Structure 1
């Protein structure tokens, strides 16, 4: 006869295995459940980085917030592991994927602009490309991602640095309301007025409080912009470094922005250091002097012009798609300024890790510098959001991006991402959650006081710990 403990264990396994069937029976016709072998199942589990994808028991595409509540209720009752995928751009393994039940927010694609309130309601299943295309036609914009393929949900819940951040702050500074399905299945609207602690916690706190289905964001007038991508031969690195230092230290126009990339790319016949920029100006033509030093460097390729905001984002498709499908890890290198010495340190790391990791099959080793103005965090008050843990000074979110093909080399690249951040990063300042590698202590993102407030909010809305069944940074 089976022991009671073994019997309960078998019942638990059976319930977990049966979660997909239970969900399929319980939800409305607006929601579908898919199984291995179907194209929808494949799409629901697929991620930008293959290292972020797993094979789930089934995938669920909820069609309403109420059905999300039903799904959460079943998963919580059966203690079934689950993943929540918005755009699928997470680079930390297991953060939006699972071997349990994969929830894909694909059907939450609403983009509704309200001219009276100057806000937009945006579904959590959108990627920013699609949002920009809709809002461009309305002559407005919101704070979102700077390249194609970035999901609305993860980007916004993790902080959100945008081309418009110098003018309006972080994406989380521009959230008016969240539609949230809490773990008991209830659908609630969270605002600063009706639940200030939960509103604070959601601004940087990811999926610790339930599943967000819609965001209400502030909008701003948007006309033509100027910018695009350029790449340069490494022989011009001295001029490139000088232009970088000058831009980062002297440009104060809040409409100007840049991503500045130092990288190493490998291929069958190519192993090179490369330099690149993504330039942005919020207007049809930038004033003289802002980008002149970069434009004076002979470019290998250049696509800088006056265009719509949507076209600017869409112009990154070739470079982003080139690296899709590789194993990928990001890490954050918190930086206070891009001085000549700091940049020389980054170049040294590119050369070292480029050569070192190429022996392990590296496709890309890149460091992206993200200069912002010292006033960036002044667009919202101190203590208004979980991230950053302190708004006393701007910490520049430098990103290290490593890509490779073989799973057997994962530990080598993960270790490199940690070591280079440890060497270059400033200690004791807030870490940007959207770039932080898995295992980063959450206190380093939110600070002791903020983390305490977040934990209290989580215990209130999720007393049974349902959201611990899914991946991500946990408070």
Structure 2
């Protein structure tokens, strides 16, 4: 079912009455709120919505512009592009029903919004709303274990470091992010690669249930394998398209000490490093405790490769890494760490406030192709050598056969990946730089790089459509990359739980059912005020 670009809730009448009834059931009398009760008020849609929230909840939960708290909130984003977005106000709910009120108020006023868990996206508007309302999930920060400690309930306001520290005294962990400062929400609904992924899969495949706010009447639903299983399926990979998740109930795993290392190699060792990477990717089934990724970059006047090798047990020299360890390295940081400590250490290398780009594609794993890609990367990286602060990095990861197999459990997920197609090579380019004036140059460089390797991959019959949401750029159509069947099913779920298209139109940021974030204006077409006028 297609979702209207001029949703019916903008036309008033019966829909407006139903929204007011739903708000009344949550204890909100619309007629008592001055800005909403005065239909001829000069205030625009988002001024009305912010004013209503302030009337209901006060300054403890509604942060207006031009205040120190507002500045602190906008500066808390990872990328400079997100920090530059200026919402009309910032709303900080502390219970799920307050999120329900917000979802109803934005429908009543037609104010746009976005929701921030960790805010680690690389483009403006992903979890921030220019001129709209940004929901800051900070105070939805529950981390609580079930009585038998098999399930941990996690609020979207948490970062993974907080979760791991809370579970550490119990000898437990959970499938989540590999850096401590990543938010729980976006990572889980988009995928979630973990140090434990060869054993347990991605974060989205380790959710027992979601607590989610539906657009229909702001109803709070439980989505699991047995309750609303279609919604449960869609939330595992569908991003923010079908609801706002206010609680993740994740399965716990045993987690004590890990053995991790960063081994750095000079350029003359690249062929051996790549051989070690592809061999381990293919042999992941032989030892599921191993996890790897390799980063290539030009740093300090030399080309280097940095292999991050993690073993989920405290074993000094596991045989699975012998090939890597036989390659001469210029540095090695091998040590034993807890999960929380490891993620904190990795996260300390990543700072907020720089201009950033993410971009990724997947391909069939092939030895000759990975060598070609690395050679091509270093042949073109000089094009941005004069961009101040530029540091492009090429990252190789594998979606292994054990990981793909976990994606079939609990009814499968929305990613559209075929377990028989593994291992899959994931190529990810990330870069930082200093100045907004260089945005176009940096994006063009990465775009052209991926166009070139896609052409090369097709010539070798190595093409693969899947784009990983959590590493995608603003110009990539992630949902379409899942395949026509998965996209159609996501559209059906969205039409069922959000027939008026609230999460598609009033929450326009991030990766939508209709296309890439860069296509947002084309998707929406006319503005919301024009939409009202045309009706």
Query: Equivalent residue for 2:294?
Result: 260
Query: Equivalent residue for 1:356?
Result: 383
Residues 257-302 of structure 1: CA distance to partner in whole angstroms, max 9, x if unpaired? 111111124xxxx443222121110111055432234334454443
Asked if residue 93 in structure 1 is aligned to residue 119 in structure 2, the reply is no
Task: Indicate which of 164, 169, 179 corresponds to 2:211.
Answer: 179
Query: Equivalent residue for 1:376?
Result: 403
Q: How does 1:224-303 map to 2 (within 5 A)?
A: 224-250=257-283, 252-265=286-299, 270-285=300-315, 288-303=318-333
| Aligned residues of 1:388 and 1:432 also touching (Cα < 8 A) | no
TM-score, normalised via structure 2 length? 0.80
Judged with a 3 Å threshold, the aligned counterparts in structure 2 of structure 1 residues 276 and 115 are, in CA distance, closer, same or farther, namely farther
Asked if residue 472 in structure 1 is aligned to residue 526 in structure 2, the reply is no
Task: Indicate which of 45, 61, 80 corresponds to 1:32.
Answer: 61
1:429 deviation in Å? 3.0
| Aligned residues of 2:480 and 2:487 also touching (Cα < 8 A) | no
1:397 deviation in Å? 2.7
1:238 deviation in Å? 4.0
| Aligned residues of 2:198 and 2:402 also touching (Cα < 8 A) | yes
Judged with a 3 Å threshold, the aligned counterparts in structure 2 of structure 1 residues 186 and 288 are, in CA distance, closer, same or farther, namely closer
Task: Indicate which of 84, 95, 106 corresponds to 1:64.
Answer: 95
| Larger CA deviation: 114-123 vs 234-243 | 234-243
Asked if residue 423 in structure 1 is aligned to residue 452 in structure 2, the reply is yes
1:195 deviation in Å? 0.7
Residues 102-126 of structure 1: CA distance to partner in whole angstroms, max 9, x if unpaired? 1111111111122526111011011
Alpha-carbon distance between aligned partners in 1 of 2:438 and 2:348, rounded to the nearest angstrom = 26
Judged with a 3 Å threshold, the aligned counterparts in structure 2 of structure 1 residues 244 and 42 are, in CA distance, closer, same or farther, namely same
2:209 aligned counterpart, secondary structure? strand
1:227 deviation in Å? 0.5
Query: Equivalent residue for 2:355?
Result: 327
| Aligned residues of 1:346 and 1:367 also touching (Cα < 8 A) | no
Alpha-carbon distance between aligned partners in 2 of 1:338 and 1:150, rounded to the nearest angstrom = 31
Query: Equivalent residue for 2:242?
Result: 209
1:156 deviation in Å? 0.3
Query: Equivalent residue for 1:5?
Result: none
Residues 352-408 of structure 1: CA distance to partner in whole angstroms, max 9, x if unpaired? 342011223352111111134323211242762111354442333321102111112
Q: Which runs of 5+ in 2 are unaligned?
A: 1-37, 455-461, 514-535
| Larger CA deviation: 405-414 vs 374-383 | 374-383
1:198 deviation in Å? 0.9
| Aligned residues of 1:170 and 1:377 also touching (Cα < 8 A) | no
Query: Equivalent residue for 1:405?
Result: 434
| Aligned residues of 1:85 and 1:97 also touching (Cα < 8 A) | yes
Q: How does 1:107-126 map to 2 (within 5 A)?
A: 107-116=139-148, 118-126=150-158
Alpha-carbon distance between aligned partners in 2 of 1:226 and 1:422, rounded to the nearest angstrom = 37
Query: Equivalent residue for 1:162?
Result: 194
| Larger CA deviation: 274-283 vs 246-255 | 246-255
Alpha-carbon distance between aligned partners in 2 of 1:153 and 1:338, rounded to the nearest angstrom = 33
Alpha-carbon distance between aligned partners in 2 of 1:105 and 1:353, rounded to the nearest angstrom = 41
| Larger CA deviation: 75-84 vs 443-452 | 443-452
Residues 430-475 of structure 1: CA distance to partner in whole angstroms, max 9, x if unpaired? 2211112223234433221121121111112222222122211112
Q: Which runs of 5+ in 1 are unaligned?
A: 1-7
Higher share of residues assigned helix = 2
Query: Equivalent residue for 2:174?
Result: 142
Judged with a 3 Å threshold, the aligned counterparts in structure 2 of structure 1 residues 337 and 428 are, in CA distance, closer, same or farther, namely closer
Alpha-carbon distance between aligned partners in 1 of 2:405 and 2:269, rounded to the nearest angstrom = 36
Alpha-carbon distance between aligned partners in 1 of 2:177 and 2:230, rounded to the nearest angstrom = 26
Judged with a 3 Å threshold, the aligned counterparts in structure 2 of structure 1 residues 464 and 48 are, in CA distance, closer, same or farther, namely same
TM-score, normalised via structure 1 length? 0.90
Asked if residue 393 in structure 1 is aligned to residue 421 in structure 2, the reply is yes
Query: Equivalent residue for 1:456?
Result: 492
Count matched residues: 460
